[in-house]
Each structure stands twice: as structure tokens, then as C-alpha cells.
Amino acid sequence: MSLHLEHDADLTALNTFGVPARAAMLARVDDAGELPGLFAAIAGQGLPWLALGQGSNLLFAGDPQGIVVQPVLAGIAVTGESGGRVRVRAGAGESWHGLVEWTLAHDLCGLENLALIPGTVGAAPVQNIGAYGVELAAFIGAVEAFDVGAGVLCRLEPGDCGFAYRDSRFKREPGRWLITAVELDLPRDAEPVTGYAGLGAELAAAGVTRPDARAVFEAVCALRRRKLPDPARIGNAGSFFKNPVVPALQAAFVRDHHPDLPCWPAGAEHVKLSAAWLIEHSGLKGHRIGDAGVSDRHALVLVNHGGATGAQLLALARHVQDTVQARFGVALEPEPVIIGAG
């Protein structure tokens, strides 16, 4: 199979919230060479399209329009080594966590702090995923993508990707790019990043005094499993809101009234605030409206208790935003892509 088309496709199992949604057509592609013909046909019909990986960073508030394209491009391989770093190429359809495990098994480090982030390799650069003090952008060697407008496969260098906090060119130019593979430059040995909230304490509790990449990986997995609900057990898309980055003066004003609000430097004139703290201290941790809820384990996570629709989860998200804005004067921005919001 290089291109498989399914009409009236049920997407309920293809989004980690587990909300009902249907696509008029779902195209699964395992050969990038099929993309020019596929997108020529899409353009010829004047159809909108949506890229779908594992559905771990989106919310179907309604059915998607047009055609859903799911790249199931596979393969992980070392393609070279230079300057103390090893180049690894991974297909867009590979599991992100599976790739992290693969790199550790091949004695490569750098990605261990990004363990257990749900989703595919192809989705990772779109969001510039990050966790526990590490961002993917630090390891990107190149991103291979199909330029829908030009109808050609491209290879973008890191400087062409426009990476920022939970952001990228691919996110800011929706409808233009379909990522087909990611190339990473990874060290064989590097000082582990252990200074982020709770990670050092987790390592110490495990009796690790000189952590290596494997120890950090195990600690991150333990933290995420303890703090975050498993999408296989209760529908969710992980962290639903970004940590807000605000001007330093605004942060100082908020912290003057709430000195225990966690914050981190975000450049010379801005500060990053903890969205989870803001939500929890707005009284919303564990709050639910029907089957749409804020997790009682982590206030940053919205969950589907079983029968919530995407529209109901979106309404809850907006309630959270409105409540935090009214309480603290801080605007929260969703991390997931919202589909079909009207």
C-alpha cells in the first residue's frame, strides 16, 4: 500500500480525546512520492485538507472539511556523523516516543527529556515539542516536507523552520506543509538537563547521583505517568494550554499579589508563567461540565470522561480561559489545533 483512500471515515479512534468525528475521505500515504499526485487531485477538486498523525494534538470540535491526509511514512536510520553529532532520519509516521527509545538503544542522547510525549515524528516540529527544559528545535538538523503550494518535496534547514516556543513555520503556515521526515543531530554524550521542575527530585528519590540519559529518560517517564492521565484510559491531548509568556512588568504585577506563582525567564523583557498554577488557583482543577473535565491529576489537561463531544470540550476550554483571564488578567492559549470550531 502506498496510497489508501477511505470514504466516510470514522476518526473517533484517530484522536486521543476519543471524540466522534468523520471525514468525507481519509488518505493514508506511506510513500512520499505519492504526494504530488494526491495534492494535484485535491487542488483540482478545490478541497481543503488536514494533516493527521496520531491525533494527539488536536480537538475535533466538529467534522473536518475536505480530505484528511495521514502520512504513515516509516523508517529510522543513522545517515551520517559530523562534529560529534550523529544524524538520524525518521519518517513522519513513526511514533515519537518510539524514536526516543530507539535513540537511547543506539547510545544517542538529547531526546530523553521528551520521552512519552504522544504523537508522531511528523507532528513534533509543528509544535516544536518541549518538556523538562528541552525543546526539539535544539536537535533539528533538517525537516523534509511537501510544499503543497509549489507541489514539490523540500528539505528545510533549521533556520528556515521559524522555531519558537511551541511554534514553528509549519504551524504558522497551515495548509502549506506536510512533513514527511525529520532529521536530528544527536550527541553520543552530553551533560543531561536535570534542572527543570521536579526532575532533579525524581532522580534523587530514585537514588541517582550521577544521571545519564537513560536515568533521565526513566525519571521523565515516571513523572509523566504519575502526573498525566493516560490517553489509553481517559481521552485527552496532554497539556491543553501553553504556559503564557507575558511582559516582565505584567508578571511582576501578578506575582506581587501571588508570590508563589511559578515563573521562568523568557528573554530580556518577558516571563513565562505556569498555566497549570493559574488554572488550579482559579478553582478549576477537577472541574467538569458533563463528561468534559479538567483533570484532577494535572490542571493543564482537559479530559473526556467518556461521552463528551469536541464542542463540549471546547466550551470547557473557553470557560477555563475566561475564568483565568478574570481572576489573574492573563490570557491562555490552547496548544492543540482546534478543528471545526465554526
pLDDT band at 232 (very low <50, low <70, confident <90, very high): confident
Look at residue 1 and tell me whether its pLDDT is greater than 60: no
Find the domain containing 120 and state its range.
76-187
The answer to whether residues 80 and 182 belong to one domain is yes
> Can you give the CATH number for the domain in which 260 is found?
3.90.78.10
Q: Give a yes or no: residue 280 inside a domain.
A: yes
Q: Give a yes or no: residue 203 inside a domain.
A: no
In this prediction, residue 246 carries a pLDDT of 97
Decide which of 71, 106, 123 is a domain's last residue: 71
| 211 vs 103: CA distance, rounded Å | 17
The answer to whether residues 241 and 321 belong to one domain is yes
The answer to whether residues 263 and 295 belong to one domain is yes
In this prediction, residue 47 carries a pLDDT of 92
The answer to whether residues 82 and 66 belong to one domain is no
| Residue 335 among the catalytic residues | yes
The answer to whether residues 56 and 86 belong to one domain is no
What does the pLDDT look like over 83-110, one tens digit per residue? Answer: 889 999 999 999 999 999 999 999 999 9
Short-list 311, 283, 309, CA closest to 296: 283
Q: What are the residues facing 5 on neighbouring strands?
A: 27
Geometric angle at alpha carbon 47, from 45 and 50, rounded to 5°: 145
Q: Give a yes or no: residue 93 inside a domain.
A: yes
Look at residue 243 and tell me whether its pLDDT is greater than 80: yes
Q: Looking at residues 307-329, what average pLDDT do you find?
A: 98
The answer to whether residues 56 and 91 belong to one domain is no
Active-site residue, selected from the candidate residues 28, 89, 166, 224 = 166
Q: Give a yes or no: residue 199 inside a domain.
A: no
Look at residue 3 and tell me whether its pLDDT is greater than 90: no
pTM of the model: 0.88
SS (H, E, C) 176-217: CEEEEEEEEEEECCCCCCCCCCCHHHHHHHCCCCCCCHHHHH
Active-site residue, selected from the candidate residues 168, 239, 274, 295 = 239
pLDDT band at 305 (very low <50, low <70, confident <90, very high): very high
In this prediction, residue 315 carries a pLDDT of 97
Number of CB atoms found within 10 A of residue 259's CB: 7
The answer to whether residues 63 and 135 belong to one domain is no
Q: Give a yes or no: residue 209 inside a domain.
A: no
The answer to whether residues 260 and 175 belong to one domain is no
Backbone angles phi, psi at 108, to 5 degrees: -115, 150
Decide which of 71, 89, 109 is a domain's last residue: 71
Look at residue 197 and tell me whether its pLDDT is greater than 80: no
| Residue 172 among the catalytic residues | no
Average pLDDT, the chain: 95
The answer to whether residues 109 and 143 belong to one domain is yes
> Can you give the CATH number for the domain in which 109 is found?
3.30.465.10
| Residue 239 among the catalytic residues | yes
Q: Give a yes or no: residue 117 inside a domain.
A: yes
Q: Give a yes or no: residue 52 inside a domain.
A: yes
Residue with cell 482537559: 302
Decide which of 50, 71, 92 is a domain's last residue: 71
In this prediction, residue 186 carries a pLDDT of 98
The answer to whether residues 183 and 82 belong to one domain is yes
pLDDT band at 2 (very low <50, low <70, confident <90, very high): confident
In this prediction, residue 148 carries a pLDDT of 96
Cα torsion 337, 114, 166, 245: sign:
positive
> Can you give the CATH number for the domain in which 12 is found?
3.30.43.10
How many domains are contained in the chain? 3
Residue with cell 471525514: 23
The answer to whether residues 7 and 30 belong to one domain is yes
In this prediction, residue 12 carries a pLDDT of 97
The answer to whether residues 239 and 320 belong to one domain is yes
Q: Give a yes or no: residue 221 inside a domain.
A: no
